[in-house]
Amino acid sequence: MSSAFPRPTLEVTRRSAGLWTLFAGIFFSALCSLSPAVAHAGGAQNLPRVADGDGLKVGKKSKFHGGIALPVGVDSNIFNNASSEGRRAGAFVYPTGWIGVGSRDVVGGVLQTPPERTSRLADYNIGLIAGFRQFLSGDEKIRTVPKLSFGAGLRLSLLPGRRFEIRFSDDVFRGASPGNIESRGTDFNFNRIEQQGALDFIARPGGGRLSLSLGYRNRYMRFGIDELAKSNHMGHGLAHETKWRFLPKSALVLNYNFDWTFYTDCCVSSGLGRNEDSFAHRLLGGYRGQIGKKVALSALVGWGWGFYRDDANGPNFGSFLGNVGLSYFPTLRTTLSLNGGRTFNDSIFGNFYIDNAASFLASHQFRWRMNLQGGLGVIGRTYSGLPVEGEETQDVLDYEGRGDADYQSKHTLFTLLAKVDQPIGRIFSVGLSYTMLVDSTQFRVTYAVNPDVPDELGYIKHTAWLIGAIRI
């Protein structure tokens, strides 16, 4: 779920700020599409931290991990302004703490339970993380930018690897984010609560070569201020996977997903700028497995459908989808990953957006235990079904840019990530991190409240921090 919020060129009061909240979340989705997950509590992968240490043994099969970090950094574009609007930079401190306990690690949001049967009746992992970002500035607008973010994540597998297995996962995250309006953080912000949960039932009849799963999906997002209440939403869904393992480490896969998204605090009448509910279907099939000893491949292709029955002007979605992921492990300490795909998702502004994306990630651990990560990505994103000015919305006078004739907004996003951390002894660690986000679009929106100054949506943002941590 994503959208984008425009950045006005003039200051606005709280009363009129709601007129600017048409696009949301390009920043969050672009960053999450590249960042490796370092904590599995929803958006917590964006909080600064370092890798866990060896941990403390708890019971026979579990370990406890925890840490406290003190990053000091700089943000080159706090409010995500376009270059013509004037960028505001600021230094910050971002103390962060985390704890976790589990019998298995979580990598990329997935509990590392082996597919083979073990003696364990359950595998689990529970994690908590919190961070408090304080900008160091004499400017009140920058100093009052929202500060506290925290989240929790749970992964549980009952009867792992057995003929019948139950898996449960849930992430809850409260994110603090400044708005794209240069105002006090208490007046306008993108603070939000996000929740994503899943319950899966897996059957492995016969010798285990065939695996059948059926699951329920739930998600929820709620913004912290009334101006964004129209974007509060909930989703329910079903997920099915049929997997036939024709080789010990190779399988043919068929996936079907259904998502029903509805907006919980929106308008009663449709066609007046409200967010329409949607029904999405995705069907993909292909290969997933390991090729030789050093290569892992996942390749799925299929079709997707998205229906917006309350939107008389449309459009609905119906087109091909796919994703390909290739990972190469030249050594036990090195991973190279190349990913690409085409996806569609419901959008807070307009009906849906389509991503054509590619990314490259690399990680290596040196013999002296230094961890190095780097990656880059590019996303071609198209928002479809923008509100028709004068008919579906009275706030917008005109769109200008690629796709405007078809009520689309087209963006090209670039992401760059570099991160290094060095453990010192058993509990200390230091690190350095850098992230660049670019939206190169020339798309502009003219609003009724300020018709003489169109709002430009493109921006560039650099974030860097130096981190020192104590972790176990």
Question: For the domain that residue 143 is a member of, what is the CATH number?
Answer: 2.40.160
Q: Residue 139: how many CB atoms within 10 A of its CB?
A: 12
Residue 156 has pLDDT above 60, yes or no: yes
- Whether the CB-CB separation of 398 and 376 falls below 8 Å is answered with no
411 contacts 26 by C-beta, under 8 angstroms: yes
Q: Is 90 exceeded by the pLDDT of residue 46?
A: no
For residues 207 and 224, the model is more confident at 224
pLDDT at residue 139 greater than cutoff 90: no
- Could you tell me if residue 2 is inside a domain? no
pTM of the full structure: 0.88
pLDDT at position 246: 93
pLDDT band at 140 (very low <50, low <70, confident <90, very high): confident
Decide if pLDDT at 17 tops 60.
Answer: no
Residue 401's domain spans which residues?
14-471
In a domain, 388, yes or no: yes
Question: For residue 9, is pLDDT > 90?
Answer: no
Flag whether 4 is in a domain.
no
pLDDT digits (tens, 9 = 90+) for 53-109: 899 999 889 999 999 999 999 999 998 888 888 889 999 999 999 999 999 999 888
The amino acid at 243: K
pLDDT of residue 221: 94
Map the chain to HEC letters: CECCCCCCCCCCCHHHHHHHCCCCCHHHHHHHHHCCCCCCCHHHHHCCCCCCCCCEEECCCEEEEEEEEEEEEEECCCCCCCHHHCCCCEEEECCEEEEEEECCCEECCEECCCCCCCCCCEEEEEEEEEEECEECCCCHHHHCCCCEEEEEEEEEEECCCCCEEEEEEEEEEEECCECCCCCCCCCCECCEEEEEEEEEEEECCCCCCEEEEEEEEEEEEEECCHHHHHHCEEEEEEEEEEEEEEECCEEEEEEEEEEEEEECCCCCCCCCCCCCCEEEEEEEEEEEEEECCCEEEEEEEEEEEEECCCCCCCCCEEEEEEEEEEEEEEECCEEEEEEEEEEEEEECCCCEEEEEEEEEEEEEECCCCCEEEEEEEEEEEEEECCCCECCCECCEEEEECCCHHHCEEEEEEEEEEEEEEEEECCCEEEEEEEEEEEECCCCEEEECCCCCCCEECCEEEEEEEEEEEEEC
Residues 317-364 have pLDDT tens digits of 999 999 999 999 999 999 999 999 999 999 988 899 999 999 999 999
> In this structure, is residue 461 part of a structural domain?
yes
Greater confidence, 323 or 30? 323
The bridge status of strand 396-400 relative to strand 444-447 is antiparallel
| pLDDT value, residue 81 | 87
pLDDT > 70 fraction of the chain, expressed in percent and rounded: 89
Instruction: Determine which of 185-189, 260-264, 369-373 has the lowest per-residue pLDDT on average.
Output: 185-189
What's the mean pLDDT when you consider all of the chain?
Answer: 87
Give the pLDDT confidence score for residue 45 in this predicted structure.
Answer: 56
For residues 286-299, average pLDDT? 96
405 within a domain of the structure (yes/no): yes
With beta carbons less than 8 A apart as the criterion, state whether 414 and 423 touch.
no
Q: How many domains does the chain have?
A: 1
Is 330 inside any structural domain?
A: yes
Rounded mean pLDDT of 16-32? 44
pLDDT at residue 30 tops 60: no
Asked if the structure places residue 7 within a domain, the reply is no
In a domain, 183, yes or no: yes
The yes-or-no verdict on residue 21 having pLDDT over 70 is no
